[in-house]
Homo-oligomer: A and B are copies of this chain.
């Protein structure tokens, strides 16, 4: 048997390659805004900065392009993807569509483990003070509610959209008022899920997205001049 026929097996335990490291650092830098939207990403420059050659940097840029965080223009270079009102509306409309469906499917499975985990993440979110962790925990909470939906492809897509909206999420979450409201909505969602009240849960989730989207659009227009 050919040695390569086994490649597809096993979990995707990515050995930590240089490109992965660069990807992670760049992703974080983009999420935090250290690399602002529109900023040019020169291969040479980044390579020197990270102490690697341009090859891993190229790979990293391709990964981030797939995630929608950077835009690559062949022979011209890469830039951090733009942030604008249109993108926000589209992104949140899409997330609502995907996540409402995933929530519905998951609730039919009734897995208490997932809800327990969601509850634990929710508490961590209350205690967490580090801005950087909020986005991550927020994602973890949402995914915990969906993970029993039984559609891996759907879950992957949801995670991808989360990565794309991470930049936005951090903005709204740095607002204390919004943070409290968000947590209220999270608690309401979790409660409805535990009760098995699908309609209520979906309602809370929908409102959650609409709220976040509205807060972001407000923020964008307010500082757009």
Contact = CB atoms under 8 A, between A and B. Distances in A.
Interface of A: 2, 4-5, 7-8, 12, 14-15, 17, 20, 38, 40, 42, 55, 58-59, 62-63, 65-66, 68, 71, 73-79, 82, 86-87, 89-91, 93-94, 97-98, 101, 151-154, 157
Given A4-B79, A62-B66, 13 more contacts: A7-B40, A7-B71, A7-B77, A8-B73, A12-B73, A17-B74, A55-B55, A58-B59, A66-B66, A89-B151, A90-B151, A94-B153, A97-B154
B157 A94 contact: yes
Contacts of A15: 74-75
- The residue in A17, A65, A68, A74 that gathers the most chain B C-beta atoms within 10 A of its C-beta is A74
Nearest to A67: B66
A74 B14 contact: yes
A163 to B, nearest CB: 13
Contacts of A71: 7-8
18 contacts: A4-B42, A7-B77, A7-B78, A8-B71, A14-B74, A15-B74, A15-B75, A17-B75, A55-B55, A58-B59, A66-B66, A68-B153, A87-B153, A89-B151, A90-B153, A91-B153, A97-B154, A157-B157
Given A87-B153, A153-B94, A7 B59 contact: no
A40 B4 contact: yes
Contacts of A17: 74-75
A99 B4 CA distance: 37
B90 A101 contact: no
Contacts of A12: 73
Nearest to A89: B151
A4 B62 contact: no
A23 to B, nearest CB: 11
Contacts of A58: 59
A42 B5 CA distance: 12
